[in-house]
Structure 1
């Protein structure tokens, strides 16, 4: 009961960014750490959270597209995997269906409850009632947080023993397949992110980092440091060129005014 309550609190706080601002505490790499603390296995929580982060790395809302819920998927996936003493491959099997199911409930809330609160906020706006508008904003945000907290609380409270039984009944060849999928799904997450970010401007830098990693053996930390330095240099060069261009335009305008 206590673990279920604490996991629900983690979900509530993680989703509270909807009302308080985006801080990325909802990401699996963060919730995995706190879930590991609650479950008594910090190392497993960090490893499983990082694995889920790779799988969900491209899961961000873009326009009207809402991705699977990383809060409940990350927390319950890690919690069930630790409770059943399973490996990293199991956390992906658990997290993805949970996140997809929660997305359905989340869409119901976003499609029905929030529009009702928004109309109420419009009425407060016509009255000039700023406190009423703020209240609707907070209710909409914390209401979603409460919904996810309750999902996590009751799911863990009712499902930990059931999940353990199901996992123990999975054949060995399926578990080996899950171990292979553990290596593939993070690559899929990176591919989803790359599809959003890669263009003809940044693609050369991506392949430059890849070539350095393959042919020089420099670790990823070194490549990240090198990339950060290169980004600062490129930005400063662009700013310098723009500044010189602006000065040239000003000088030419001054000369034309003097000639006139």
Structure 2
């Protein structure tokens, strides 16, 4: 019971982005850490959270398209996998469908509950009542957090034993297939991210990083540091032409900060 309450609290805090703004604490790589702390296995929580992060890396809300709920999928996927003694492939197996199922409840809240709060905020706005608008904003956001936290807590409380029995009944060949899928699904997550971000300006850098890893065997950390350095250099180079100059080619005093 205590574990279920703590997991619900983790989900509540992670989902608080609706009320407090985007901070990326809802990502599986973060919730996996705190789920591992609650479950008493921090190392496994981090590993499984990172595995789920690879699968969910391209899952972001774009316009009116609401993706599967990464908080519910991340917390419950990791929690059930740790409690059953299974590996990261089980976290993926459970996390993705659980996140999709939670999306149904999220859409119901957004369609039925949140509009009531928003219309009330509109009436406060007509009266220039800033305190009322703020209250409605927080109420709507934390209402979502409370719902997600309740789903996670109740689901873990009633479902951990059942999930363990289901995992024990999975045949060996299926387990092998799940291990293979563990390597494929993160690639799908990266593909979703690339589809959103890659264009003709940034594609050369993407393939440059791939070639460095493939032929020079540079680890991911090295690529990340190299990418940060290249980004800083490119930003500085791109900003130079924007510096204002007078007719004589001398920099204006207003732009000379140092």
> TM-score scaled to structure 2, two decimals?
0.94
Q: Which residue of 2 aligns with 1:215?
A: 215
Tell me the CA shift for residue 253 of structure 1: 11
Whether 1:154 aligns to 2:163 is no
Q: Which residue of 2 aligns with 1:30?
A: 30
Cα distance per residue 1:222-251 (max 9 Å; x no partner) = 1221221111111111111222xx31xx31
Q: Secondary structure at the match of 1:251?
A: coil
Cα distance per residue 1:98-148 (max 9 Å; x no partner) = 100000110010111111111111111112222111111011000000000
Q: Which residue of 2 aligns with 1:11?
A: 11
Q: Distance in 2 between matches of 1:87 and 1:102?
A: 23
Tell me the CA shift for residue 218 of structure 1: 1.6
Q: Secondary structure at the match of 2:23?
A: coil
Comparing 147-156 with 216-225, greater Cα deviation is found at: 216-225
Q: Which residue of 2 aligns with 1:87?
A: 87
Instruction: Detail structure 1 runs of 4+ shifted over 4 Å in the superposition.
Output: none
Q: Of 241, 248, 251, which aligns to 2:247?
A: 251
Q: Distance in 1 between matches of 2:238 and 2:27?
A: 33
Q: Which residue of 2 aligns with 1:224?
A: 224
Tell me the CA shift for residue 41 of structure 1: 0.9
> TM-score scaled to structure 1, two decimals?
0.93
Q: Distance in 2 between matches of 1:224 and 1:103?
A: 33
Q: Which residue of 2 aligns with 1:73?
A: 73
Q: Which residue of 1 aligns with 2:130?
A: 130
Q: Which residue of 1 aligns with 2:195?
A: 195
Aligned-residue RMSD, C-alpha: 1.4
Q: Distance in 2 between matches of 1:95 and 1:253?
A: 59
- Alignment gaps of 5+ in structure 2: 251-258
Tell me the CA shift for residue 252 of structure 1: 7.0
Q: Which residue of 2 aligns with 1:101?
A: 101
Q: Distance in 2 between matches of 1:206 and 1:218?
A: 14
Q: Distance in 1 between matches of 2:68 and 2:78?
A: 16
Q: Which residue of 1 aligns with 2:165?
A: 165
Q: Which residue of 1 aligns with 2:47?
A: 47
Comparing 178-187 with 228-237, greater Cα deviation is found at: 228-237
Name the structure with the higher helix share. Answer: 1
